[in-house]
Amino acid sequence: MNRFVKLLNFELSRFMKIYLVLMIVTFIVQITGMIVTANSYMAEANKMIYEEGMSQAQFIEQYGAMSFLGFARGLWFTGPIAVCAAALLFYIFMIWYRDWFGKNTFIYRLLMLPTARLNVYLAKAISIVLMVLGFVSVQLIFLPLENSVLKWLVPVDFRADMTVGQIVKWDYLSMLVPQTFTEFILYYGAGFMAVSVLFTAILFERSFKWKGILLGSVYAALSVVIMISPLLAMNFMDQYYLYPLETLGLEVVLGLLVTVMSLWMGNYLLTKKITV
Amino acid sequence: MIEVNDMKKKFGHKHVLKGVSFTAEKGEITCIIGINGVGKTTILNAIMNLTPLNGGQILIDGDTISKHSYEKITFIPDAIIMQPNMTITEAMQFMADFYDSWNQQRATELLDFFKLKESEKINNLSKGNRAKVNLLLGLALDVDYLLMDEPFSGIDIFSREQIADVFTSHLVEDRGVIITTHEINDIEHLIDKVVLLDEGKVLKQFNSEEVRETEGKSVVDVMREVYQP
């Protein structure tokens, strides 16, 4: 097996325990949330119909039928997703800093492996992307299960049923689950670019310490400026020269430029400037 | 041969190394001696490309260090550099996975030599045993050069004796060894070459056998002359 794949496997296995815990917590919280939400909806329905004398039609007109989207807008559903997103964001930093700090400085070993140091960088970056994809995939498995719980707890007359296909087209879920291959490349490509910019900023800090924090911040800011420069320029001139599709094309080119620049700079820092 | 030419390094405004030059041959033990903070560890880090230099050049068998060099030179720092939650077996497996030069037979031999339990987690080991695991992971590589940073630092006398025994065994012979220490007594009789450092410069370098034969002085005697004139 080539060393890059071994490194990737190693990086993934290092986070696996926390990763599995996050997935299990997400599942438990979302299922619990669905049960609580459905039960409280039905309790309200029973109260209004049997105690207040409201008809079923009036209740649905006033409160609306329960749909998955109503649940998906709530904290029970979005909370665990936000926690997973925050954990992964935190891990973007941890994946490097854990090798420098603590009882054992594993970065010595990583940098002394007989493989290009860029492989260490790429293994870490790709493991982050794979972890995001993993979370999204697992969430896709959870959706039909949660949808089934909804159907099980709420009678059909009180529900506005949705298929998983309809659910994933909604709001932020459509970002996590791209609808087309082009969207997939765009969203996850942008994600990889962001990870590479942050990694390079971290390596600036690891290479130049205090000065590196400044350099890393400038680097990240520069990357953002490059990405928004077409919009800034057009906004500044108050003239929109480009059609939306042309703007998108330009953004893709700039995104590629920023990613390649980050990889090159990351490799340069790892091979020429890094200090254990 | 490892050639260190005019090595310069500064941290902030402090010049730690001000043009250090020496060579270390295969089959010899070269000892870099100096007080704490003199730059001994920095020299080893720089040889392994773990810290950038501000000047100078390092050649290993005539080449600058590259990814391929890590199959023929290894560094054993004074702290363990493996994941703390790994068992010794897992740490050995990690090395076997990544290094073509990993010698499993020698690793097993070293496990017996150091009387270490494979199933033990690195986290749970004593400082002495961690140092031994560190040595094991370095010595089990079929490399030409070994760099060791303070291998006797802060460990008990029995572990020190065991580690010192490594230097007289076949585990080290034919390899070029660079060792940094300020505790010379355990290995004084084994050292071939000595590099004495102070204030970022090489004060003196000599062949210990030659000095012993021609001047009748031990390494410690020469150190006293240099450091306490």
pLDDT (tens, 9 = 90+) of chain A, 276 residues, equals 589 999 999 999 999 999 999 999 999 999 999 999 999 999 999 998 988 888 888 999 888 899 888 888 889 999 999 999 999 999 999 999 999 987 668 999 999 999 999 999 999 999 999 999 999 999 999 999 999 999 999 998 898 888 888 888 877 777 778 888 888 899 999 999 999 999 999 999 999 989 999 999 999 999 999 999 988 888 888 777 788 888 899 999 999 999 999 999 999 999 999 998
B208 to chain A nearest CA, in Å? 31
Q: What's the total number of domains in chain B?
A: 1
Domain enclosing residue B198, as ranges: 2-227
| Prediction ipTM score | 0.91
Span B178-206, pLDDT tens digits: 999 877 877 888 889 999 998 889 999 99
CATH number of residue B183's parent domain: 3.40.50.300
3-state secondary structure chain B: CEEEEEEEEEECCEEEEEEEEEEECCCCEEEEECCCCCCHHHHHHHHCCCCCCCEEEEEECCECCCHHHHHCEEEECCCCCCCCCCEHHHHHHHHHHHCCCECHHHHHHHHHHHCCCCCCEHHHCCHHHHHHHHHHHHHCECCCEEEEECCCCCCCHHHHHHHHHHHHCCCCCCCEEEEEECCCCCCHHHCCEEEEEECCEEEEEEEHHHHHHHHCCCHHHHHHHHHCC
Say what the pLDDT of residue B178 is.
95
**Which residues in chain B are contacts of A15 at CB distance < 8 A?**
none
CB contact under 8 A, A104 and B81: yes
CB contact under 8 A, A112 and B74: yes
The answer to whether B41 faces chain A, any CB pair under 8 Å, is: no
B66 to chain A nearest CA, in Å? 8
Domain ranges of chain A: 1-161, 178-276
Contact map slice: B 83-112 vs A, CB within 8 A: 83-84, 94, 97-100
